[in-house]
Amino acid sequence: MKKTIASLVTGAALFLAAASFVPAYAGEFILLQSTTSTQNSGLYDHLLPIFEEKTGIEVRVVAVGTGQAIKNAGNCDGDLLLVHAKSAEDVFVAEGSGKQRRDMMYNDFVLVGPSSDPAAIKGLADINAALKQIAAAKAPFASRGDDSGTHKKEISLWKKAGVETVAHSGKWYRETGSGMGATLNAAVGMEAYVLTDRATWISFGNRAGHEILVEGDPDLFNQYGVVTIDPDHCPNIKSAAADRFVDWLLGPEGQAAIADYRLDGQQLFFPNAENGDS
Amino acid sequence: MQDFAASFFEAFRLVLGLNPGLLEIVWLSLKVSMTAVIIAAIVGLPIGAFLAVARFPGRGLLVVTITALMGLPPVVVGLVVYLLLSNAGALGPLQLLYTPTAMIIAQTILVVPIIAALAGQTLEDLNGEYRDQLMLYGLGSLARLRTLLWEGRYSLMTALLAGFGRAIAEVGAVIIVGGNINHVTRVMTTAIALETSKGNLALALGLGIILVILAILVNALVFLLRAAAERSAYA
């Protein structure tokens, strides 16, 4: 009995150890360092099977904030970068990590808040005025605080509104230091206003009493870009396969697939690759 | 309360429907964490046994350090392993980042101190009881270590289970070094984190309930094996 158990345990151990070192998928794959909204909204679940079916190239997505995605890609830990902070993407290319940055699609940011709306901003068409009112009312505002694309956008909007958020951090201005979803959960929990991309908001399951209060300001435009990695900077990356994916994404088929994606009857992303290179 | 009811419903729906996505995630979770515990046992048990019997200057400091490392923050371990395995890091050429192997490495680092510290304590107590007998037999120190490990095997299961509990429950390390890639490195805890960030709280909690049940099953299995083995050993 003792021996049986010992050999059983040893056998199981060896099997497990061996099984873990066999890769789950032996085919060709590329690693995509990505922002979270494209994953959380289900866009990849829609796009990637089409591309994989066509080319046999598996796309593995690591969805983190834009800041972290750029950092990871700069460490050569990704074959491609898909984020939404154009200036940071341009820096990434200028520094020599990125090869080429191109527009891929857009949607917009929306300002979400509790329906009680303590700063009375509902229906304002001007994000600048809305932020000023929130600051004046000292109404709770949840910020990503994580150097993501949405966070960068939010900072630029506060700057434009002339509000020094640093001085209010920890009071009405609350930096969660987390992803979009976690920040939305926090905002819902503390009745705070929060800036989010529309795709994440539409697909978000825990909206509770929160709703879109400000939208439609041209300043809320949200451009997604795709950036190839420079093989001179990262000799190990799979340039050819990554280029195929980019060509497909920006070509008529990929662009149509992006436009086709709908959640609750709403289109989440609008392809705009024909705008060309930056 | 409604959320909790919905979570149990989600958990049942996932389990009863034998959701293939769920099975894949559960299987990977078990595979990664069990492998990590096995490797950590191979490393940690001898360390624990050595600490239990050896007497040398600085031993106290070493015991305190290893015991303190039981509290290693997973996110820090994840970060260190990421920096090592990154293409920009020392072990980059191994191409292990964002693979289950990377997750096993991170969890092994988290579990080794737990197994070593707990095993050390167990074996030290045992050594106190048996020392005179072992001396009497005139066993060498290596043979003494082996005897202690063998005699303490049932109590040591607790150390292994504590390590397993740590491994299967942590998210901070595996999400950094694994990347939470669907079908490749997504495990129970990273799936829970993802569903939480999507605001699917009922589904996230449902997955959490399944994770707890899984941990109970593993512990129950070990408990039964141990009971059966003890019966046959002392019968």
Per-residue pLDDT reduced to its tens digit, A158-217: 999 999 999 999 999 999 999 999 999 999 999 999 999 999 999 999 999 999 999 999
For residue A210, the cross-strand partners are A114
Question: Are B199 and A185 an interchain contact pair (Cβ–Cβ within 8 Å)?
Answer: yes
Q: What local confidence, expressed as pLDDT, does residue A147 receive?
A: 87
Mutation site, A206, A207, A238, interface B, largest B CB count within 10 A:
A206
Nearest to B38 among A13, A40, A75 (CB): A13
Domain membership of residue B44 (yes or no) is yes
| B55 at interface of A, judged by CB pairs closer than 8 A | no
Question: Which residues of chain B make contact with A22, given a CB cutoff of 8 A?
Answer: none
Question: Which residues of chain B make contact with A69, given a CB cutoff of 8 A?
Answer: none
CATH number of A28-107+223-275: 3.40.190.10
Nearest to A60 among B98, B198, B232 (CB): B98
Nearest to B31 among A16, A184, A204 (CB): A16
Enter the pTM of the model.
Answer: 0.87
Nearest to A101 by CA among A219, A191, A223, A225: A225
**pLDDT band, very low/low/confident/very high, at A247 (cuts 50, 70, 90):** very high
Domain membership of residue B1 (yes or no) is no
Sign of CA pseudo-dihedral B134, B137, B140, B143: negative
Mean pLDDT over A66-79 rounds to 95
Shortest Cα distance from B45 to chain A (angstroms)? Answer: 16
Nearest to B188 by CA among B85, B107, B70, B94: B107
For residue A227, the cross-strand partners are A81, A101
Mean pLDDT over B92-120 rounds to 96
Render pLDDT for A12-24 as a digit per residue (tens, 0 to 9): 555 555 555 544 4
| B224 at interface of A, judged by CB pairs closer than 8 A | no
Q: What local confidence, expressed as pLDDT, does residue A10 receive?
A: 55
Whole-number Å distance between alpha carbons of B74 and B175: 10
| A59 at interface of B, judged by CB pairs closer than 8 A | no
| A5 at interface of B, judged by CB pairs closer than 8 A | yes
CATH class of the domain comprising A108-220 = alpha beta
The domain total for chain B is: 1
In B54-99, which residue ranges form alpha helices assigned H by DSSP? 59-69, 74-85
Domain boundaries, chain A: 28-107+223-275, 108-220
Shortest Cα distance from A225 to chain B (angstroms)? Answer: 21
Question: Which residues of chain B make contact with A180, given a CB cutoff of 8 A?
Answer: 197
List the CATH number of the domain containing B194. Answer: 1.10.3720.10
Q: Examine the pLDDT at A11 and tell me if it is beyond 60.
A: no
| B6 at interface of A, judged by CB pairs closer than 8 A | no
Which residue reads 């909690």 in tokens?
B205
Torsion-angle region of residue A33: left (phi > 0), alpha (psi -120 to 50) or beta?
A: beta
Mean pLDDT over A108-121 rounds to 96
| A191 at interface of B, judged by CB pairs closer than 8 A | no
Q: Letter for the amino acid at A7?
A: S
Q: Comparing A28-107+223-275 with A108-220, is the CATH topology the same?
A: yes
Q: What local confidence, expressed as pLDDT, does residue A16 receive?
A: 52
| B43 at interface of A, judged by CB pairs closer than 8 A | no
Render pLDDT for B184-194 as a digit per residue (tens, 0 to 9): 999 999 999 99
Question: Are B34 and A16 an interchain contact pair (Cβ–Cβ within 8 Å)?
Answer: yes
Domain extent, residue B178, equals 23-198
Question: Which residues of chain B make contact with A206, given a CB cutoff of 8 A?
Answer: 199-201
A with B: how many residue pairs have Cβ under 8 Å apart?
95
Q: What local confidence, expressed as pLDDT, does residue A24 receive?
A: 47
Question: Are A20 and B101 an interchain contact pair (Cβ–Cβ within 8 Å)?
Answer: yes
What lies within 8 Å, CB to CB, of B156 at 6+ separation is: B45, B119, B122, B123, B149
Nearest to A61 among B87, B95, B182 (CB): B182
Question: Are B86 and A40 an interchain contact pair (Cβ–Cβ within 8 Å)?
Answer: no
Q: Examine the pLDDT at A278 and tell me if it is beyond 50.
A: no
**pLDDT band, very low/low/confident/very high, at A277 (cuts 50, 70, 90):** very low
Render pLDDT for B27-71 as a digit per residue (tens, 0 to 9): 999 999 999 999 999 999 999 999 998 889 999 999 999 999 999
Q: Examine the pLDDT at A271 and tell me if it is beyond 80.
A: yes
Question: Which residues of chain A make contact with B27, given a CB cutoff of 8 A?
Answer: none
Question: Are B86 and A77 an interchain contact pair (Cβ–Cβ within 8 Å)?
Answer: yes
Q: Is the ipTM of this complex over 0.90?
A: no
What lies within 8 Å, CB to CB, of B37 at 6+ separation is: B107, B111, B115, B160, B163, B164, B167
- Which 8-state DSSP code applies to residue A273? G
Residue in B with minimal Cα distance to A199: B198
Q: Letter for the amino acid at A35?
A: T
Question: Are A60 and B200 an interchain contact pair (Cβ–Cβ within 8 Å)?
Answer: no
